[in-house]
Chains A and B, each alone.
Chain A
């Protein structure tokens, strides 16, 4: 069942959300690095767009108003202008179509968006994205967080055990191969 995706990359930057003055610099600092997002609603090439992208191949899709900004690939000038205008493709993450439960390889027409939402992308579900959703679902669900104390204790028990076990194995091999060690040799002062 596809649902809304609450992904950090899809959230609006703080300055974009508030729309305050001087937001450009603040937004540039705080905004997460975007990646090509086939399921993000773009009204036009935005900061996530890279020169050379085409709308069909990179998911630069019409927005809620259904108007495409263009049919050509993204030009340098457009990308720069979009950057300065701060076109906020990320303010509508609810329109993304891939959600928890979707599997790698699923096509957009196989996804089932939550009521009131629609699939915007044209790509199949990417494995990494789907795995990330599964991990997030597991972390928020029934999976128990690891106990750091138990992990540390395991390492501190393992540390002295490893050389002791190795020494025991060596004694066994040596006894079999005709080199019985002389047990009980002690150091009067540590040398290593």
Chain B
């Protein structure tokens, strides 16, 4: 819970201010919400790419395809929530803090790569359901 609060404040002021505060509105004004989410997911994944090769890092050694799949699906989910909340960056920070806290506590993103793949697939299924359920709009008002 402490991490959740800490992470929310941290992500609100750092990453999410850029991803969901700056880039997402511009992307969605040009492309569909789904395309915007996938593009943002790719950028987001590339941003974290160096951590996969830094010894001692939590993400070190994770398989790149699985990691990218997880980030893309998570990007879709976060963008849907941000749209549903009227463009709130705070909601993205809360989600990402909960994401890190829960995945870290349960160890699903760690040494066992099978766990990462299971997480990526389950998250992708949820993201696909969100896309189909909103007909690709991801709660973005028309």
Contacts and interface: CB of A to CB of B under 8 A. Distances in A.
Q: Do these two chains really belong together in a complex?
A: yes
B104 interface: yes
Interface of chain B, main secondary structure:
helix
Interface string A154-192: 011011111110111111011001010111111100111
A164 B3 contact: no
Given A152-B85, A160-B94, A192 B115 contact: no
A85 to B, nearest CB: 36
B38 interface: no
A171 B104 CA distance: 12
Scoring A155, A173, A179 by chain B CB atoms within 10 A of each residue's CB, the highest score goes to: A155
A181 to B, nearest CB: 4
B67 to A, nearest CB: 10
A169 B122 contact: yes
Interface of chain A, main secondary structure:
helix
B126 A162 contact: yes
Nearest to B86: A152
Interface in B9-27: 10-11
Contact of A185 (B11, B91, B95, B105): B105
Contacts of B72: none
B99 interface: yes
Given A156-B91, A185-B110, A192-B48, A167 B118 contact: no
Contacts of A173: 118, 122
A158 to B, nearest CB: 7
B108 interface: yes
17 contacts: A156-B91, A159-B81, A161-B98, A164-B102, A166-B122, A167-B102, A170-B108, A170-B118, A171-B106, A173-B118, A173-B122, A181-B106, A181-B107, A190-B7, A190-B11, A191-B51, A192-B59
Interface of A: 152, 155-156, 158-164, 166-171, 173-174, 177, 179, 181-187, 190-192
